[in-house]
Amino acid sequence: GGGLHNFMDAFFKSQLHITAIELDPGIVSIANEHFGLSESEMSLNVIVGDGLHVKSFATNSEDDENSTSSLNLRFQPSSISLIVIDVDSKDTSVGMSCPPISFISESYLENLKGLLIADGGMLVINVSARDPEKLHEVQRNVYQVFSPRSVFISSDCDNHANDKGGRAASSEALNVVVFAVLNTNCPNAA
């Protein structure tokens, strides 16, 4: 809703260039009116669109050629330092309210990995699952795309959030933040 940008802008003193993608134009209006979100700032670009259509300029499909909105969601390969997925799902039947399942598919995660800078690019996913199997599905998919040694899972239930494989150690840890980093200088990360 605008709060994260305001925090990052205050903390980093406008040294960042942030592109936010929001599906609902009403949410952008609420963020502007009630949270002080300002697109006139040089550091912020808000795109109204579907985050699932984020692609690299190197990726091409016939559907994209016919859609001007898809062109706004194209980025240079290896050009983004940080990608944050904090998306609510309206489908409560799947056992995970954040993010929707499509945002944790291996193909989508591979696409995002290709956009991250090679040394230090980070993907952050906010996960709220009521079904432990859904949390494990998120973990499996992230591990398939990123090296398990480059993934850290922060839990809200205890200080011992990760077992030796990087998985959430407690079955109660259903609200987590998943961090996956690319680092070519780190011997533990692939």
Q: How far apart are CA 89 and CA 92, in angstroms?
A: 7
pLDDT at res. 159: 42
pLDDT at res. 158: 46
pLDDT at res. 168: 47
Per-residue pLDDT of the chain (190 residues; tens, 9 = 90+): 556 666 777 777 667 788 889 999 999 899 888 887 777 665 788 899 999 999 887 665 555 444 444 556 888 999 999 999 998 888 878 888 899 999 999 999 999 999 999 889 999 999 998 888 999 999 999 999 998 889 999 876 544 444 444 444 445 557 899 999 997 565 544 4
Q: Is 26 helix (H, G, I), strand (E, B) or coil?
A: helix
pLDDT at res. 99: 93
pLDDT at res. 31: 86
pLDDT at res. 186: 55
Burial of 88 (0-12, 13-18, 19+ CB in 10 A): exposed
Q: How far apart are CA 35 and CA 173, in angstroms?
A: 30
Short-list 10, 16, 27, 25, CA closest to 2: 27
pLDDT at res. 60: 59
- Exposure string of 44-61, with b = 16+ CB inside 10 Å and e = fewer, is bebeebebbbbbbeeeee
Structure tokens at 153: 């899972």
